[in-house]
Structure 1
Amino acid sequence: MGCDGGTIPKRHELVKGPKKVEKVDKDAELVAQWNYCTLSQEILRRPIVACELGRLYNKDAVIEFLLDKSSEKALGKAASHIKSIKNVTELKLSDNPAWEGDKGNTKGDKHDDLQRARFICPVVGLEMNGRHRFCFLRCCGCVFSERALKEIKAEVCHTCGAAFQEDDVIVLNGTKEDVELLKTRMEERRLRAKLGKKAKKPKATESVSKPDVPEESAGPSNVKTRKPEEASLDSREKKTNPAPKSTATNGSTSGKVGKPLCGTTKRSIADSEESEAYKSLFTTHSSAKRPKEETAHWVTHTSYCF
């Protein structure tokens, strides 16, 4: 049982009681939320972005996460709702003039006061260290304290003058209730965007697929389709019985032949009003119709024939 060398065990060493619940240090939790990136756990450096749930990130960390979504990253669950860079907003933060940063601690012998915030509210002057509730506008990215929005009620941003609605106000690092409310708003917003895209697609396809049809050709055609046998018979009849030549009489007694109307059969050159010199160029002219005896037979002998 031990007790060698005169050691005397105490009761808490022999009897195991219930484990004490570890209490989370609130100050350390606030420092982690407001000074470190949610994804990479590195110190927040500009450009700083925030998601639709009010969490703070380094923009470089978000881009790396979107490019390499590996399942090995445990911290990827915190940003699983970020599908593209459009789901985050770059924040316009106001620097705290009382914050020195790492300038005075070059030798490493000075204590860094993490309770002092790096950024402040530009309207009221409250420090953004987690002691006060802060929010940002999704339309422009400006950051204010919640007290400033309540005391100075306006429908326009206090710094840039952009118009915003209640849906555009997102609380930074809010409570569980705030996160649930923001999550429902985010889902509704994305659902509305999907329905808007689906409504635009059919309109675009209809305009492309349906060309401009004239009013006369609209509707079903009244022309009856004929069998191929009937069509072949009609073509034979047209060949055997050519259409009569159309003559145009302009009221004059001269028996000149007029030009054929549009849509009639082809007319021969012999019946045209052209000159005889022009007509003699074609084989249908009387001068071209000579017997074989009168026609010449030319034979040329070249070196290629042998």
Structure 2
Amino acid sequence: MGCDGGTIPKRHELVKGPKKVEKVDKNAELAAKWKYCALSQEKLRRPIVACELGRLYNKDAVIEYLLDKSAERPNVEVASHIRGIKDVKELNLTDNPEWEGERRNAKGDRYEDMHCSMFICPVVGLEMNGKHKFCYLQTCGCVFSERALREVKTEICHKCGDPFRDEDIVVLNGSKEEQEKLKNTMEERRAKAKTGKKSKKTSGVEALSKHVDSKGSSESKSAPVNEENSSGSSSSDSAPGPSGCSKMVKPSAAVGSKRSIQDMDGKSEAYKSLFTTHSSAKRTKDQISNWVTHTPYHF
């Protein structure tokens, strides 16, 4: 049978089968992870930072996100675990000598290698393009390939020489299982930090209370001793001596009493005249002038 136009439909035009699953290009997926910021989707440029889950960001994008979290962004969920700038680490990357820049194929007459990366491993020389696993150290921020850390086992950073532990190694752009493992370690680390802060606060309050209690008890103990000493000294001063006459006690000058410079005998008259207490600085009522306010119409 034909249609109105005399055409004969084919089977694939009448029978619809299941939709084909669209396959994502692996090169495009790797470029999105290793060449673009996970938050702003812009090209990675120095300074580059990484979070505790191993995602790569531009430092400017992270700072803008922390300053204004209410702004609309395409991938806010990616950075939801970042509370402050201390939750990210600036990476110490090694430049690739074969990288010619973004405009190396401006005319379009050259073969463009999609796997060529801006950075490499300083130990093995592998390019950081997603084909090989790369890690960074939370202590210093240096980036190495997993092969370098596995083959050259050491507890000192290959690039800067700072010591590190296995717990400080974070995989960059790892799989879902690796990211879940990193997330669990991050939550445990933050929980330990909170408990440590609480214990420090409680210990500080207890030490302060003990110091106050000890100070109060020492003052209470020293109070009756002072009273006895004062009563004993007064009785000894008022008691008559062997000749039958009481001792005359001279009143001592108060501690910290101020003495006028004009009463000092060792100072010269020129030195005393520098101060306002000198007789030359004093004026009579006729010499004292009053402030006069002029109106804007007075000339």
- Could you state the TM-score of these two structures normalised by the residue count of structure 1? 0.70
The answer to whether residue 215 in structure 2 is matched with residue 213 in structure 1 is yes
Query: What is the Cα deviation at residue 105 of structure 1?
Result: 3.2
Is the contact made by 1:91 and 1:141 (CA closer than 8 Å) also made in structure 2?
Answer: yes
The CA RMSD over aligned residues, in Å, is 2.8
Deviates more, 1:17-26 or 1:59-68: 17-26
Deviates more, 1:108-117 or 1:149-158: 108-117
* Distance in 2 (alpha carbons) for counterparts of 1:182 and 1:136: 13
User: C-alpha offsets along residues 131-151 of structure 1, whole Å, 9 cap, x if unaligned?
Assistant: 111100011000000000011
- Specify the alignment match of 2:243 in structure 1: 252
Q: Which runs of 5+ in 1 are unaligned?
A: 223-243, 261-306
* Distance in 1 (alpha carbons) for counterparts of 2:220 and 2:202: 22
- Specify the alignment match of 1:52 in structure 2: 52
Q: How many residues align structurally? A: 237
Query: What is the Cα deviation at residue 83 of structure 1?
Result: 0.8
* Distance in 2 (alpha carbons) for counterparts of 1:247 and 1:85: 75
Q: Helix, strand or coil: the match of 1:57?
A: strand
Is the contact made by 1:247 and 1:259 (CA closer than 8 Å) also made in structure 2?
Answer: no
Query: What is the Cα deviation at residue 125 of structure 1?
Result: 0.4
- Specify the alignment match of 1:263 in structure 2: none
Q: How does 1:59-208 map to 2 (within 5 A)?
A: 59-70=59-70, 72-107=72-107, 110=110, 112-208=112-208
Query: What is the Cα deviation at residue 208 of structure 1?
Result: 4.5
* Distance in 2 (alpha carbons) for counterparts of 1:247 and 1:66: 78
Q: What is the letter of the counterpart of residue 14 of structure 1?
A: L
Query: What is the Cα deviation at residue 19 of structure 1?
Result: 1.5
Query: What is the Cα deviation at residue 16 of structure 1?
Result: 2.1
Q: What is the letter of the counterpart of residue 105 of structure 2?
A: N
Query: What is the Cα deviation at residue 257 of structure 1?
Result: 6.5
User: C-alpha offsets along residues 5-57 of structure 1, whole Å, 9 cap, x if unaligned?
Assistant: 23332222222222222222222111111111100111100000011011101
Query: What is the Cα deviation at residue 164 of structure 1?
Result: 0.6
Q: How does 1:231-250 map to 2 (within 5 A)?
A: 247-250=238-241
* Distance in 2 (alpha carbons) for counterparts of 1:76 and 1:33: 16
Q: Helix, strand or coil: the match of 2:215?
A: coil
User: C-alpha offsets along residues 224-281 of structure 1, whole Å, 9 cap, x if unaligned?
Assistant: xxxxxxxxxxxxxxxxxxxx9x83122223x446669xxxxxxxxxxxxxxxxxxxxx
Q: Helix, strand or coil: the match of 1:213?
A: helix
Q: What is the letter of the counterpart of residue 66 of structure 1?
A: L
* Distance in 1 (alpha carbons) for counterparts of 2:133 and 2:177: 14
Is the contact made by 1:99 and 1:116 (CA closer than 8 Å) also made in structure 2?
Answer: yes
- Specify the alignment match of 1:13 in structure 2: 13
* Distance in 2 (alpha carbons) for counterparts of 1:15 and 1:25: 29
Query: What is the Cα deviation at residue 71 of structure 1?
Result: 7.0
Q: Helix, strand or coil: the match of 1:144?
A: strand
1:257/1:170 CA distance change after superposition, 3 Å = closer
User: C-alpha offsets along residues 176-207 of structure 1, whole Å, 9 cap, x if unaligned?
Assistant: 11111111111111111111111111233344
Query: What is the Cα deviation at residue 165 of structure 1?
Result: 0.7
- Specify the alignment match of 1:23 in structure 2: 23
- Specify the alignment match of 1:230 in structure 2: none
Is the contact made by 1:36 and 1:42 (CA closer than 8 Å) also made in structure 2?
Answer: yes
* Distance in 2 (alpha carbons) for counterparts of 1:123 and 1:29: 26
Q: What is the letter of the counterpart of residue 31 of structure 1?
A: A
Is the contact made by 2:92 and 2:143 (CA closer than 8 Å) also made in structure 1?
Answer: yes
Q: Helix, strand or coil: the match of 1:23?
A: coil
Deviates more, 1:73-82 or 1:152-161: 73-82
* Distance in 2 (alpha carbons) for counterparts of 1:133 and 1:2: 60
Percent identity between matched residues is 61
Q: What is the letter of the counterpart of residue 141 of structure 1?
A: G
- Could you state the TM-score of these two structures normalised by the residue count of structure 2? 0.71
